[in-house]
Amino acid sequence: MFFLLVIVLGAAGPSPSPSPLPEIAHVYTSDRTSETLNNSARTTYIVTRADIARHGYRTVGEALENLPAFEFSPYGAIGGAAQYGVRGNNSAQVLVLVDGLPAPGSFANSVELGTMPLAGVDRIELVEGGGSTLYGTGAIGGIINVITQRKAADGATLRAGSFSDSSLELRTPNIQFSRVVARNDFTLPDETSRPNSDFQNSALHANFGTHIGSFDAVLRAEISSDRGGAPGPTEFTSLTSRQKDLNAGANLTLTHKSPQAETTLQFGGTRQQITFGCNAVTDPNCFQDTESLDTEARFDVGARNVVSGNNEQLLYGIDLARGTVRGDAGGLFSTNSFAQAAAYVQQKFSTRWGSAYAGVRGERDGWVGGEFSPSAGFVVRLSNEASLKGNIATAFRAPDASELFFPFFGNPALKPERAKVADFTLVDSRLLGGVALGWFGNRTNNLIVTTLIDPVNFIFAPENVGHALIEGLTLDAKTRPLNGLTASFNLTDLYRAEDLDAKTRLPDDPVLTANLGLDYAGDGFVEAFGASVHSVGAHGPAAFTRADAYLSLRAAPNVLFTLRAYNFGNARYEAVNGFPMPGRTFAFELSTR
């Protein structure tokens, strides 16, 4: 397959690095240290604060949706849960970080990108492919790192839109706040309304930096509160099901730099609380007549050192985590403790022709077991503008708390998933404004899936079913700015995503996903405008295509007025079967900066 790939790639004309913005020079997640995109062997994409403001994103899921090989399927309008994954892997196989440490809900796989706010976020980095060597369990498909601001600029954004959808964002150098309220009372094709879909979120982020001796210290903290209706699928709509989420976290990063080394210490803590309930007396579709409460608390400590010499770099460190997950489903309690301990090392060499790295991680996830995760990769310079990049790794995922212990569902006999992953990408910055063509593959053993174990009582449970094979191709291209205009296009062909034992395709993996974008940046009365098309083929119940657009006008030297149109083709689709999305939607936005 590799030799065939090289032949195919040689006929194409590829790109520098899969960053959507040419001004991005460095990334931080791919090697747990600052490096240039050109020197990064791992496929990395970035969404900047400028992207977030330009396109009006309000959740992490929205911000990532148009990136290659990222799968995002929301259960309705803003406020609903969402399925997500990378390169055919599901959310349990994608590690979500906040400032380099696991996000609230990581132990229980309850990190919700569909409602995770962007208050205080500076950038989001998506590293695709196995990341277990540097990050451990749950990074089979990749890593999402939400990096918050160290110091923000003053400003505010006020928005009002269709279906009583409004939001407010306030920004100061050290504190950022956002508030979203949406009634989501859109009509369905049969002219009825979608009931019990309201949503509200409040988020607060604070950041402070100082010096402690020879260390540069940064303290960041955030808290987010969600509440809203959970109506379920249209055929079983619940009028009383309500959910409340509370996510909080804080982390302290200490960094000491010398001419040849950089030492980093990180301390972090997170807490997640999810409450769900409904009224079984008045609601025939209430499936849980006693309120449930799920809580996770976690504490992380990490230490790493990066030593740089002539044409080489040595990275090594340790990660420690402790936490408790408590589940209460209708009065049945389950409280369990989790622990992770790991050490890792990675050596990187650079020459005139490129670079190569090799590393290994040893991790112990409590009584679930331990794992060694080696990886290796390279960057071969074919010319000043073109290069071939490749990675091969062994990745793993320990079963999460929900799969092991959730009342009426958990299976304590589960074994960790183990995967062999690889990718190869040819990139060339000369063609257009940069083009990249790549192949990726993933073979997983002990795959964990939810199966129907009792058809009579309709009881499901997670089980290790055996083997899965995922293979796909990605194309990512963009143009150089021409009179302020920039075009971008990416295509993901997930031509294989198969449960090898059942001989069936893995669920919720679209075969083809394409994104097309056009953006203009000016310096006059018209500040910016753009349009994008997001198309998903052979996905669940049906394929769909959605088109969005925006126009930003400078109303005053520091004031922008923006009109946004979502799904302006009025496509009535369901990204997840039974959960309809709104039709044509508009929003007006006033922002200062």
**Which band of pLDDT confidence, cut at 50, 70 and 90, is reported for residue 456?**
low
Structure confidence at residue 335 (pLDDT) = 87
What's the average model confidence in pLDDT over 254-275? Answer: 96
pTM over cut 0.85: yes
1 has a pLDDT exceeding 50: no
**Number of domain units in the chain:** 1
pLDDT digits (tens, 9 = 90+) for 169-210: 999 999 999 999 999 999 988 888 889 999 999 999 999 999
Judge whether residue 297 has pLDDT over 60. yes
What average pLDDT is seen over the chain?
A: 90
Residue count of the chain:
593
| Residues 574, 571: Cα–Cα separation, whole Å | 10
113 has pLDDT over 90: yes
Question: What residue has token string 């291209």?
Answer: 477
pLDDT (0 to 100) of residue 543 = 85
Q: Say how far apart CA 128 and CA 228 lie, in whole Å.
A: 32
Tell me the percentage of the chain whose pLDDT exceeds 70.
94
The model's confidence at residue 458, banded by pLDDT at 50, 70 and 90, is low
Lowest-confidence range among 56-60, 410-414, 455-459? Answer: 455-459
What confidence score (pLDDT) does residue 8 get? 29
Spatial distance between the Cα atoms of 473 and 491, rounded to a whole number of angstroms: 8
Instruction: Tell me the per-residue pLDDT of 62-109, one tens digit each, with 9 for 90 and over.
Output: 999 999 999 999 999 999 899 999 999 999 999 999 999 999 999 999
Indicate whether 19 pLDDT > 70: no
CATH number of the domain encompassing residue 154: 2.40.170.20
Separation in Å, CA 295 to CA 82, 228, 278, 498:
20, 18, 19, 34
Sign of the C-alpha dihedral, residues 102, 104, 107, 110?
negative
pLDDT band at 291 (very low <50, low <70, confident <90, very high): confident
pLDDT of residue 539: 57
Q: Give the integer Cα–Cα distance in Å for 220 and 208.
A: 7
State mean pLDDT over 113-132. 95
pLDDT band at 167 (very low <50, low <70, confident <90, very high): very high
465 vs 111: which has the higher pLDDT:
111
* Secondary structure of 159-173 in HEC code, one letter for each residue: EEEHHHEEEEEEECC
User: Cα torsion for 83, 85, 89, 90, to the nearest 10°?
Assistant: -30
- Please measure the distance between the N-terminal and C-terminal CA atoms of the chain and give it in whole angstroms: 51
Please report the pLDDT score of residue 506 as a whole number: 86
* Beta strands 485-499 and 435-454, pairing class: unpaired
d(CA 375, CA 420): 10
Please name the helix (run of DSSP H) or strand (run of DSSP E) that holds residue 561, with its range, or none: strand 559-566
Confidence at 399, pLDDT banded by 50, 70, 90: very high
The pLDDT of 372-383, averaged and rounded, is 96
Q: Which helix (H) or strand (E) holds 397?
A: strand 386-397
Residue 2: which pLDDT band, with cuts at 50, 70 and 90? very low
pLDDT at 151: 80
Q: Flag whether pLDDT at 20 surpasses 60.
A: no
Q: What is the mean pLDDT of residues 493-516?
A: 91
Range of the domain at 513: 2-592
* Tokens (6 digits) for 218: 């940064």
Q: Residue 584's pLDDT band (boundaries 50, 70, 90)? A: very high
Residue 214 pLDDT greater than 80, yes or no: yes
CA triple 343-415-449, angle to 5 deg? 120
Query: In this structure, are strands 94-98 and 142-148 parallel, antiparallel, or unpaired?
Result: parallel
